[in-house]
Structures are given as structure tokens and as C-alpha cells.
Amino acid sequence: MSPFPPCGGRLGWRGMDKSKIRELRKHLTETERALWKHLRLRQFRGYKFRRQQPIGKYIVDFACLEKRLIIEVDGGQHSEQTAYDLERDTWLESQGFSVLRFWNNQVLNEIEAVKEVILDTLTRQPLPPTLILPRKGGGNK
């Protein structure tokens, strides 16, 4: 599976307002800056993260395309847009991404715990499927 999302264009740029994406990258919130300080330049265990990354019709806060992980930092407005967030997360997950959401206060006040959750998610290896077939004839010999 390619680490690049199915976006109908190079990482979702086609049809998106590039100036909006540049503006979002230039003007990160205080909380996004606090988390980006830990994720940028492959300093988080060597994983490459992108900020304000277009994926499909959405722009996600942070993405590790290699591990198909999206990190969202939510302020108070997200408590009023749960239906939109659910629709967005459902679509992103249908494209093979895992989505982690953290509240602003978690990032600002509990950064080590946030980093631990991110690391656990990045390093979690899916268990191989186990198939136990009955012995020939269905017996327990």
C-alpha cells in the first residue's frame, strides 16, 4: 500500500486553494506550534510528519504518511461540530488512516502523555491474522 493518500492529485493539492494551505501553515495556533515543535524535522523517533496536509477534500493538522497517522488538535469549536468531525474521521479511516484527536489543553498541559499516545500508535504493529483449522476429519487428535 502506498503511503500517499488517494486524493485525485499530488497529496490532495488538485482543486485546493494553495494559498489557504500556506496561510494555515504560516499561522499555526499556539497549540499546533507546541506540538509541531516535537514532531518537526523527524525528531520524533525519525518519523516524518507534515503539517496542514491536504488529504482528499480535507486539510489535517498533522500527518505521518508513512504510518498513515493523522493527528488533530481540537479547540472548543470542535465540541460544536462533532457531526462534521465524525464524517471527516470516517472518510479518513476509510482511506486507511488512523486519526488521533487531542484537546488543546492536553497538548499544552500534558505533552509527554500526548507524545506517548502518538508513539504507541506509531509503533503498534497489527497482529497477524490467526487461522486455526480443525484437523482433518474434525477430530482433536
- 94-110 confidence digits (pLDDT tens): 999 999 999 999 999 99
The 3-state DSSP class for residue 135 equals coil
φ, ψ dihedrals at 63, nearest 5°:
-145, 135
Q: Would 140 be classed as within a structural domain?
A: no
- pLDDT higher than threshold 60 for residue 27: yes
Q: Would 89 be classed as within a structural domain?
A: yes
Q: Would 132 be classed as within a structural domain?
A: no
Neighbours of 139 (CB within 10 A): 7
Bridge partners of residue 98, in order along the sequence: 69
Q: Give the structural domain span for 34.
A: 10-123
Average pLDDT along the chain: 82
More confident residue, 25 or 63: 63
Grid-cell match 500500500, residue found: 1
Grid-cell match 472518510, residue found: 91
Q: Would 137 be classed as within a structural domain?
A: no
Query: Rounded mean pLDDT of 73-85?
Result: 80
Q: What pTM did the predictor assign? A: 0.74
